[in-house]
A = this chain, B = another copy of it.
Amino acid sequence: MNEILSVKNTTIKEIKKLHKKKYRVESQQYLLEGFHLIEEAVKYNNVLTQVLVTQRGYQQWGAWLEAKAIADVSLVSDEVMKSISDLPTPQGILAVVAMAEAVITDWQGAWLLLDNVQDPGNVGTMVRTADAAGLSGIILGEGTADIYSTKTLRSMQGSHFHLPVVSMNLKDAISVFKEQTIPVYGTELNEFAVSYQDVSASQNFALIMGNEGQGVEKELLDLTDKNLYIPIKGHAESLNVGIAAGILMFHLTV
């Protein structure tokens, strides 16, 4: 097993670049930290191109790494691990994972579409919630935060291994749903829209959630079958977009 003790090691420098989206896109790889997520990646047949593990991490997970025949495992110092991790307390194991391109083959089902959602935590939480609600997949429109940042990966908790998350122009996606006669619901922050409680749960729908400040783009709202809102009863001005998505997805799914 390879051993890396210097933070200036070339491999380490290359791996660190994966904190930037540009390098993730170029190399089609991303960083995944923590045993639980790495185990989930392998369980769902993702390729680990490289694994870094500390001495203590190896004691804990060495047997698993061998059993799974993970090829490229390097033992690293705590200092090296700390230099890559963006956690206050690094977990002792970190993998470079090859991106698996998701392709939608069957458009029937329930979908979540994200229009320009900017906060990585919100995007991650919504993917996790869509998974929990039994949705078919998620479509990321332009401007939506990258799912492969460490922050999004942490809040997704591995849900991107469970259901397809694809990037696509949302107008094109809406066209496909319309062809398939799947109802498309936009979301609005005002009471001119339809209360979500007046819409019944169903097997097939596409729900669009929008930007934290601006909501769903007007052009998209004009293309939907219905636009929904959640009635606010107290003095709060609005709901967090992730919370709103959770309420809607759990209400709309059968």
Contact = CB atoms under 8 A, between A and B. Distances in A.
Interface of A: 121, 125, 128-135, 155, 157, 159, 162-163, 230, 232-240, 242-244, 246-247, 250, 253
A248 to B, nearest CB: 10
Given A247-B247, A247-B250, A128 B236 contact: yes
Contact of A132 (B132, B133, B238): B238
Given A125-B243, A243-B243, A250 B236 contact: no
A134 B233 contact: yes
A216 to B, nearest CB: 19
Given A243-B243, A247-B250, A159 B129 contact: no
Given A125-B243, A240-B129, A134 B234 contact: yes
Nearest to A155: B240
Contacts of A131: 234-236
Contacts of A236: 128-129, 131-132, 157, 159, 162
Nearest to A233: B134
A140 to B, nearest CB: 18
B232 A132 contact: yes
A207 to B, nearest CB: 15
Q: Which 6 A-B pairs have the closest CB atoms?
A: A134-B233, A132-B236, A243-B246, A162-B235, A131-B236, A131-B234
A128 B240 CA distance: 8
Q: Identify which of A232, A234, A238 gathers the most chain B CB atoms within 10 Å of its CB.
A: A234
Contacts of A237: 157
Contacts of A125: 240, 243
12 contacts: A125-B243, A130-B234, A132-B230, A133-B233, A135-B234, A155-B240, A157-B236, A162-B234, A163-B234, A163-B235, A242-B242, A247-B250
Contacts of A135: 234
